[in-house]
A and B are shown apart, each in its own frame.
Chain A
Amino acid sequence: MNTLALGLDRTMLELKMYFRERDQVFFSFLFPILLLALFATVFGPQFEGEPGGITAGSYFLPGMISAGILLTSFQTMALTVTTERDDGTLRRLRATPMPPVAYFLGKVGLVAVTALAQLVLLLLVARTVFDVSLPTEASRWLTFGWVYVLGVFGGTVLGVAYSSLATSSRSAGAAVIGPVIVLQFISGVYFAFRDIPTWLQQLASFFPLKWVAQGMRSVFYPGVLASDEMAGSWEHGRTALVLAAWAIAGLVLCVTTFRWTKRGSV
């Protein structure tokens, strides 16, 4: 079989394992959808009469899409690759004639399918249950496209690179989930970025999640709300630059630090 076909087979296998792991399905796949439903319901009354007619559902949607990207790409990759290296899965695969690229294609396929399925569910719930009006302009969807692709790609390669830091799968849980939660809180995923202290905003600006969330707000929020951002505008150029830089750095790190065996075993 050629590498592409093997990559497809690995994708099917990865998907099977992903959806058989209940924790995984709940904490990375369903979590943002449940949070959107929860926030839109609980905070619904507070948004009545907001400027621009924004509802709780449309207010939280960009953040939940951003959280979903972080969870399905970065968190899933960092956790599964660390576990697979620690328990000898990678070593077992390395002992077979499977081309290494097929393994990575399987991971990319897993992230692509789960991230897209999650996005479709999020938009569907937002549109049908919470009556969020989705953008109709092509330019907004174009922005959505590049922010989404850069976000998912960056999250995936950075997740694989991050897995090289964790020494065992026991420490990986804390080492991955801790930063992921903190990053979500300081990047304006769960509540308004404008309410975060300036120094935390500046700290968050070093990481890609803040830029993904800002990009997503620019797609789903009315234009007037751009004045709430740090720079008073959506900063599309800077967003593209930061996300591309992280994606390239992640890819380089991923390629240079990837190991098939545990540290200290060569």
Chain B
Amino acid sequence: MTPAITVRGLRKTYGDLAAVDGIDLDIEPGECFALLGPNGAGKSTTVEILEGFRVRDAGEVSVLGTDPANADRAWRDRIGIVLQSCAGLDLLTPREALRSAAKVYRKPRDVEEVIAATGLSEKADDRVAKLSGGQRRRLDVALGILGRPDLLFLDEPTTGFDPKARRDFWTLIDSLAAEGTTILLTTHYLEEAEALADRVGVIAAGRLLALDTPQALGGRASQEAVVGWEENGTRHTLTTATPTAQVSALAARLGPEVPGLTIGRPTLEDVYLGLIAPHLTVTEENS
């Protein structure tokens, strides 16, 4: 199968600064891919080149078989973009905005279905100006998925959401992924990448530092685990490459239920922070 997105040797410079400094990437159809990286790492520039909003300096890019620099109406019909804000709609209601937006697509989703799926039913006839931040964000998403896109770009979609709204949003994205929509997500929330993404890429200083499943990123699966337990009223921890054997040994010694047992692996956040640490000073100087 041809990839949904192919990137080879992508470069973009602003003056002396290489914002994107040679990125190679393949994203398969139906995949949910998360791009992580500190602010100023080249994440947004990369995504904006893929969306056709920025012109690259070098490299090859193919998105749904088309170079986004030459995007036409048929290509835009297959793309959904959830930008960072839904400004300019304050004077309309979500239903008015969605009904009008639906008219430009060849095979749009049913507006009422989209309103229900994004949890906007109760606010559908209120002015957008009166919606909360989270509700506005859901309208952004509603506008992004309205055209039944084959490929959906989500730019930090849940910034400012409360935990419940974030879970609801993840369920919505999961259902889109289940329908076969390819999703390219950028986020600052590591648990979001872990919950949604099939693979994650970490960008810093314009380069792709790591690319893997969230479970295996940066050798995470093979790293040593920390086993913790309570014995004689004190807490013990042990770092080990063989946690299962340790737990068996503990169970044999302390009975079938080891008191206060915990087994920790490095979280995605630990791995991520470790990966970008060497690049942080560089990024700060540039920003």
Contact = CB atoms under 8 A, between A and B. Distances in A.
Nearest to B153: A95
B83 A95 contact: yes
B86 interface: yes
A261 B52 CA distance: 12
Contacts of B263: none
B96 A96 contact: no
Given A6-B104, A97-B76, A16 B92 contact: yes
Given A17-B92, A97-B74, A99-B73, A88 B104 contact: no
**Interface size band for B:** 20 to 34
A89 B103 contact: no
Given A13-B92, A83-B88, A88-B88, A96 B104 contact: yes
A6 B103 contact: yes
Contacts of A89: 87-89
Nearest to A83: B88
B5 interface: no
Given A13-B96, A21-B91, A97-B147, A91 B53 contact: yes
B81 interface: yes
A13 B100 contact: yes
Contacts of A99: 73
B236 interface: no
B51 A96 contact: no
Contacts of B74: 97
B100 A9 contact: yes
Interface string B83-108: 11111110110001000110111100
Nearest to B77: A97
Interface string A85-98: 00111011011111
A20 B103 contact: no
* Contact residues of B: prevailing secondary structure: loop
Interface residues of A, number: 27
A5 B103 CA distance: 9
Contact of B79 (A20, A95, A98): A95
B202 interface: no
Contacts of B77: 97
A88 B147 contact: no
Nearest to A5: B103
B96 A16 contact: yes
A182 interface: no
Contact of A95 (B76, B84, B103): B76
A97 B92 contact: no
A266 B143 CA distance: 24
Given A13-B100, A92-B88, A261-B53, A97 B83 contact: no
A92 B104 CA distance: 13
B76 A96 contact: yes
Contacts of A21: 91
Interface in B41-95: 51, 53-55, 73-74, 76-77, 79, 81, 83-89, 91-92
A42 interface: no
Interface string A16-47: 11001100000000000000000000000000
CB-CB nearest 9 A-B residue pairs: A89-B88, A87-B87, A97-B76, A98-B104, A95-B81, A97-B77, A17-B91, A20-B91, A97-B73
Interface of A: 1, 5-6, 9-10, 13, 16-17, 20-21, 83-84, 87-89, 91-92, 94-99, 102, 261, 265-266
8 contacts: A17-B91, A87-B87, A88-B83, A88-B85, A89-B88, A92-B83, A94-B53, A95-B81
